[in-house]
């Protein structure tokens, strides 16, 4: 029974392109939820016994300690049906000794090619990448930012050396040199950027700029003539600029290297699954004092609704970004 439930659960998650699965304790037992492009939806509620068996199954196969139900644990395995998907596990017990499980689904690059709500935006990104410098991406978790960076860099890879630094590596791309952050081993982002520079790549992918040291290292790499693609936590394209300034990056240096700031969301379409919409700021638009998405973003949503690609409700729900 438990094998069948697990196969159905993972199959449903893959079919709906879920980014995460949650197994959470509730009054009636444990609730299984999926995080899809439209939000978190409940898939099924199971008894506490079945839920505990489900969690134990994954912990066993991911080489986690099955008997440890209070302390946080992490693990991983590869699911092979219908095609390989990396599963990353995180468990922890609450104050009442009830364990919860979160599963992150990492799809292979071949299964994660982004469609674009505005197809010309893919061409714009390629043109910007040719200019070198720093290209920043922001947007919520699961918005496809890593896929966008990989797609942009991959089109350069035939004639360029691309080095990716991530925590952890989410997409396996044999054309890139891929390094994984391991702070316990002294391999933090900034350290790996220094190592990467000795490999003389043409382009860097830096999974996330999360502190001042990494921000400075990314800017230095861009100043030395490299293309640098990275993500930051911000709620708009303009917010990415403010985020780097908040991290202590010199404004003059940032003006020299910043090629583009992009805000990205996955927009549910009526047919063919979700598509990426980008708010791309370049040149003088980068330095306007605003914290909201541009008028181009709103116009793209309205056009997509009028042409029947998305519903009016979807357009309205993404108006603010």
Position 109 scores a pLDDT of 64
Same-domain status, 203 and 83: no
CATH number reported for the structural domain that contains residue 85 in this entry? 3.30.450.90
pLDDT tens-digit readout, 96-107? 889 999 999 988
**Whole-number Å distance between alpha carbons of 100 and 58:** 12
| Residue carrying the six token digits 């003059």 | 252
| Averaged pLDDT of the chain | 91
311 has pLDDT over 90: yes
Query: Number of structural domains, the chain?
Result: 2
pLDDT tens-digit readout, 141-192? 888 898 999 999 988 877 889 999 988 888 888 889 999 988 888 888 889 9
Helix (H) / strand (E) containing 51: helix 48-61
Same-domain status, 193 and 298: yes
With a CB cutoff of 8 Å and minimum separation 6, the contacts of 159 are none
CATH number reported for the structural domain that contains residue 264 in this entry? 3.40.50.300
Same-domain status, 72 and 121: no
Same-domain status, 103 and 151: no
**Whole-number Å distance between alpha carbons of 262 and 244:** 14
**Whole-number Å distance between alpha carbons of 48 and 31:** 9
| pTM score of the predicted model | 0.82
**Whole-number Å distance between alpha carbons of 281 and 262:** 6
Three-state SS sequence of 258-320: EEEEEEEEEECCCCCCCEEEEEEEEHHHHHCCCCCCCHHHHHHHHHHHHCCCCCHHHHHHCCC
pLDDT tens-digit readout, 289-299? 777 888 899 99
Share of the chain above pLDDT 70, in %: 99
256 has pLDDT over 80: yes
Position 112 scores a pLDDT of 61
Same-domain status, 91 and 210: no
- Distance between first and last Cα of the chain: 42
Same-domain status, 166 and 272: yes
pLDDT tens-digit readout, 123-153? 999 999 998 899 999 998 888 898 999 999 9
Helix (H) / strand (E) containing 102: strand 99-107
Of 107, 128, 145, which one is at a domain's C-terminal end?
107
Domain limits at 78? 2-107
Same-domain status, 8 and 35: yes
16 has pLDDT over 90: no
Same-domain status, 126 and 213: yes
Of 107, 127, 149, which one is at a domain's C-terminal end?
107
With a CB cutoff of 8 Å and minimum separation 6, the contacts of 61 are 77
Same-domain status, 234 and 258: yes
Helix (H) / strand (E) containing 164: strand 162-166
For the segment 280-302, the average pLDDT, to the nearest whole number, is 88
Position 46 scores a pLDDT of 95
**Whole-number Å distance between alpha carbons of 73 and 7:** 23
**Whole-number Å distance between alpha carbons of 316 and 321:** 10
Position 100 scores a pLDDT of 96
pLDDT tens-digit readout, 18-76? 889 999 999 989 999 999 887 899 999 999 999 999 999 999 999 999 998 889 999 99
Main-chain dihedrals φ then ψ at residue 209, nearest 5 degrees: -90, 105
């Amino acid at each position: 029974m438990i094998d069948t439930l697990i196969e159905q659960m993972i199959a449903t998650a893959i079919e709906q392109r879920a980014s995460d699965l949650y197994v959470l304790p509730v009054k009636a037992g444990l609730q299984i939820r999926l995080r899809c492009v439209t939000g978190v939806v409940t898939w099924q509620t199971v008894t506490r016994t079945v839920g505990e068996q489900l969690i134990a199954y994954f912990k066993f196969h991911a080489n986690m300690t099955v008997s440890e139900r209070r302390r946080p644990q992490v693990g991983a395995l590869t699911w092979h049906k219908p095609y390989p998907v990396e599963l990353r596990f995180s468990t922890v017990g609450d104050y009442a000794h009830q364990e919860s499980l979160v599963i992150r689904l990492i799809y292979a690059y071949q299964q994660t090619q982004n469609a674009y709500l505005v197809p010309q935006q893919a061409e714009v990104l390629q043109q910007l990448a040719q200019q070198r410098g720093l290209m920043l991406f922001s947007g919520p978790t699961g918005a496809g930012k890593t896929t966008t960076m990989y797609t942009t860099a991959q089109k350069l890879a035939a004639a360029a050396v691309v080095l990716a630094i991530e925590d952890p590596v989410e997409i396996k791309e044999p054309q890139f040199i891929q390094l994984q952050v391991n702070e316990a081993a002294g391999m933090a982002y900034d350290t790996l950027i220094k190592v990467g520079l000795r490999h003389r790549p043409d382009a860097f992918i830096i999974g996330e700029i999360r502190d001042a040291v990494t921000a400075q290292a990314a800017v230095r790499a861009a100043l030395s003539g490299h293309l640098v693609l990275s993500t930051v936590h911000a709620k708009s394209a303009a917010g990415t600029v403010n985020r780097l300034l908040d991290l202590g990056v010199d404004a003059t240096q940032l003006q020299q290297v910043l090629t583009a700031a992009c805000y990205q969301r996955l927009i549910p379409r009526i047919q063919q699954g979700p598509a990426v919409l980008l708010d791309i700021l370049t040149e003088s638009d980068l330095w306007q004092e605003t914290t909201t998405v541009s008028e181009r973003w709103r116009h793209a949503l309205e056009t997509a609704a009028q042409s029947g690609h998305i519903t009016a409700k979807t357009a309205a729900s993404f108006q603010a970004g």
